[in-house]
Structures are given as C-alpha cells and as structure tokens.
Amino acid sequence: MSDVARTLFLVCYDVCEAKRRRQVQRYLMAYKIGGQKSFFECWLTAADLRDVRRTLADLLDLRADRAHIFQLDPRMRRDLLGRATQPPTDLFLIV
C-alpha cells in the first residue's frame, strides 16, 4: 500500500472507561466514512494507518481496552441487512 493510495479498513474498539472511549471516538471520527457506535469504516493511506495505530496505542489502556483494524476489500459485494447502507465512495477515486 502506497502512502497516497487509500484502502478500506474496519476499525473497531472496546474501551472500558468512558473518557478514553470518547477520546478514541472523537479521534476516529476524522477518518470515518461509515459505521456505527464502535465500528468505523475508514479509507486510510499507509501514513494514515500508521498514525491511527500509533494514536490508538497512546489513547488505549492496553491492559484493559482493545482495538481491531481489519483491511477490507472494497471490490467485494456487501450483504446489507436492515437499515444498512453502502459507505459513500464518491469522496474518493477507487482504482
């Protein structure tokens, strides 16, 4: 992944303390294009991904909290149920 190409990631977290949880949520809102509550769909460059990993490591209590970052394939068909909607892709050029 190059520093300019964006890749779709799912970032999810489980933070025990409310103050830390709000800090993590506020931080990830800058990258979020979709998701809900503690699951965020984010288009990240390699540099963004490094920043997210580093910042989450600083914000989380690594003994009690956890975060997962999953790389998603944007070419895969999504199964949507209920009120689910496709994440917006018109903000980026997907090649």
- Greater confidence (87 vs 42) lies with 42
pTM score over 0.85: no
For the stretch 28-70, pLDDT in tens is 999 988 777 889 999 999 999 999 999 999 999 999 999 999 9
20 neighbors 29 (Cβ within 8 angstroms):
no
pLDDT above 90: percentage of residues in the chain: 56
Res 34: pLDDT: 78
For the chain, the domains span 7-71
Closest to 40 in 3D by CA, of 90, 62, 48, 17 = 48
10 neighbors 74 (Cβ within 8 angstroms):
no
Is 7-71 CATH 3.30.70.240? yes
The 8-class DSSP code of residue 79 comes to P
